[in-house]
Structure 1
């Protein structure tokens, strides 16, 4: 209770008097962040896993498995291209109709796009139109994810005590391993319980129905929070409001770019340990896919613990120092990618478990590590666009690039790809630090 009162006092709010019928405590903000991010990541991983195990077979049966998977990964990237467009478009909706309307539109769009994929006919029944519809719905997911930004992570970070910012920053990032565990668990169960024919006919659709239901729950949980007068007042006091995109880019474009590149190593590793190895095993190994998913679930559980640990480490070393140190570890890890992925079951398992731990430690602090660079009035939109650009540059094309390089040139090139992300992070963090010292 004393921690809550301290934060309220910092905001000029007298404890016990709020001027509205609702209190918004830091704990409630944290819960809203975790629920919102976990639901989005569940959608994300349901599609990602299906893009490896299902879509190449039912939408690209006219191609060999490798080419079909690469085509599937092209469509996978559409959401990341659309995401910043969704952020800008729905920020305009917010300016005109309010944040509740914006979030409702975004989450309904996400739910409809996700559920729509579950009802899609296959290539055999609809031809090329099925691929077009899949692409449109994937773009819809991207637009919705961009538009679902509610400012909660920024508000949580600004309300965090000085010595607890790393801890608060990691809370939203917990959604990634939680979402992966649920999505991978569903697919692992369906693969083990159903025949291959039943899985490809109807079983794969079930996780998309679940994703729609989770979106509905998340919608009401988040609307309950953001519809309060207290939440609105807190956003306004912190100047967390949309601005015109031309003004944003013109004034803060450099900070957006540096912020996106600062976490490049984390975002590149994100898909190199989740989507890419699943596709590599599916195409090049006799290993059971359901058993491999269980290994990845174990890795995600380790990642969840590592995300929590990252909050402790960051509060001692500093968030940017933590990101830099982890970028160096990811660079070292990249050199072992070929040896582990070509090292049989034991080597692949080691790659997954070690990779997920590094991912948790680095991704736990990847969100908004340099958003303090933004002027107050630009922080709301700046944080959203920074995340969009980081996903686009670091993760959007990672499965396509990693699988294409590995298949045509060898796993050594996946090492170079991951190493380039680590180098990009270190360069951006160094440049940001140099400019801070100059100022």
Structure 2
């Protein structure tokens, strides 16, 4: 397994290039590219997700009640997660045919175009069902683009650093989630406190989508600066991180891919249970202003950043598998008492979000690296991309829809049981990986 660059290796020879047009790619360059890329993707995600609670029930589903309109908006939210694995398959074919640079450019342009177009969609009162269908099509476009945004940087980063620091570097891609949430929440809070409710629903909500497009452009150039460099291709090739065909990958690593879908399920389910679900619950079932919940989400995202960073040090100290198991057990316990906090008013909701983010960060911080560690180098690039897309679909795609549905009709305890099921899936998957000698390693 490749580690840090050694003298005489291909990476070392690349260091001696004198061609001014060649940009040497170091682990720090990869880390920066990963953070920028993931932040832009998660910012897009949270801009849409927050709008599913604050905007779309009124603009697109005003003919339904508040709860039903929010649930209908969560159906739109889920569409991208369903489309994401399809996008992975499509863009992997593009990668094999014309290269990573073309694939990444096309996918991020599709992502940015879909996002900015969402900010231009008229309301149901103006366009009728066409407004809903157009938004659904654009959401599918986002999902396809996210499936193609896989650039191999997380796997390459894990292979480019010393083994004893793999846990620390594995958490770096996950920092994009709380950072993206923080920026999205700040933007929405600014709009909510500076325009009236009518103005926000009429036109104010559009600005976050336009900002998302601008961030995507910056992220595209930052990532292309790395992906387009000769060093990047050489490092990927020397690490055998190349796009393989789907069928051979499934045939050779199918069992690992199935387990890989369920190993991070607890953290992916928790991801929505401490972000979009509490926002929707408080917005629908309390008199608190939405910006107050967004303040709590901002506080939670800061706690999440610290927790994700801590996961890197802890994983390097006790091992990734033990941390994942402990994280799943903690999430299972949170699933049982967390609903009591969420039902305890504003302070309880804030504790629910912050504590949930701390537990989330410890597991989520290692989820990307865990998926990659299940595969050998030959199929790691393709298998990691496809498994990540499928795991997000099963673990997070339907979480807001399911949690709000069962909580609204059965009570908050039912949402906790839903989260508990994800924790159980992770525990079982880790034990199965251990018994089948597919140990989750720090590689």
- TM-score w.r.t. the length of structure 2 is 0.96
Q: Which residue number corresponds to residue 418 of structure 1?
A: 419
Deviation at 1:250, TM superposition (A): 2.0
Structure 2 residue aligned with 1:13: 11
Q: Given the alignment of the two structures, is residue 62 of structure 1 paired with residue 63 of structure 2, yes or no?
A: yes
Rounded to whole Å, the distance in 2 between the matches of 1:184 and 1:320 is: 33
Partner Cα separation in structure 2 for residue 283 and residue 70 of structure 1: 11
The secondary structure found in structure 2 opposite 1:79 is helix
**1:341-379 Cα distance to aligned partner (Å, 9 max, x none):** 111122111111101111111111111314233122100
Aligned match of 2:407 = 406
Cα contact 1:337–1:411 (8 A) shared by 2: no
| Aligned-partner Cα distance in 1 for 2:80–2:11 | 41
Residues 1:438 and 1:273: Cα distance change in structure 2 (over 3 Å): closer
Provide the aligned C-alpha RMSD in A. Answer: 1.6
- The Cα of 1:249 is off from its aligned counterpart by 1.6
* Length, aligned pairs only: 435
1:259 aligns with 2:260: yes
Cα distance in 1 for partners of 2:124, 2:438 equals 57
Q: TM-score, normalised on structure 1? A: 0.97
Q: How does 1:211-222 map to 2 (within 5 A)?
A: 211-222=212-223
Cα offset for 1:9? 3.6
The 3 A distance-change label for structure 1 pair 22 and 136 is same
CA distance in 2, matches of 1:292, 1:6: 44
Q: Secondary structure at the match of 2:5?
A: helix
State the match for 2:353 in structure 1: 352
Counterpart contact for 2:249–2:379, Cα < 8 Å: yes
Q: CA deviation at 1:7?
A: 2.4
**Aligned pairs for 1:230-379 within 5 A:** 230-379=231-380
| Superposition deviation, residue 12 in structure 1 | 3.9
Q: Distance in 1 between matches of 2:363 and 2:338?
A: 18
CA 1:94/1:305 → structure 2, altered by over 3 Å: closer, same or farther? same
Taking a change above 3 Å as real, the CA distance of residues 140 and 10 of structure 1, as seen in their structure-2 partners, is: farther
Matched, 1:85 2:86: yes
**Judging changes above 3 Å, is the alpha-carbon distance between structure 1 residues 102 and 351 closer, same or farther for their aligned structure 2 residues?**
same
- Cα deviation for residue 176 of structure 1 reads 0.4
- After superposition, give the CA deviation of every residue in 1:366-393 in whole Å (9 maximum; x if it has no partner): 1131423312210001111111011011
Shift of 1:90: 0.8
Contiguous gaps of at least 5 residues in structure 2: none
Q: Structure 2: how far apart are the matches of 1:24 and 1:77? A: 36
Deviation at 1:320, TM superposition (A): 1.5
Cα deviation, 1:5-36, whole Å, max 9, x if unaligned, reads 95254844336424862211111011111111
Change (3 A) 1:57 1:41: same
Q: Distance in 1 between matches of 2:84 and 2:271?
A: 17
Q: Distance in 2 between matches of 1:13 and 1:123?
A: 56
- What's 2:34 paired with? 33
Measured against aligned partners, the alpha-carbon deviations of 1:69-96 in whole angstroms (never above 9, x if no partner) come to 0010011000000001101101111111
Aligned residues of 2:241 and 2:378 also touching (Cα < 8 A): yes
Q: C-alpha separation between the residues in 2 aligned to 1:373 and 1:197?
A: 50
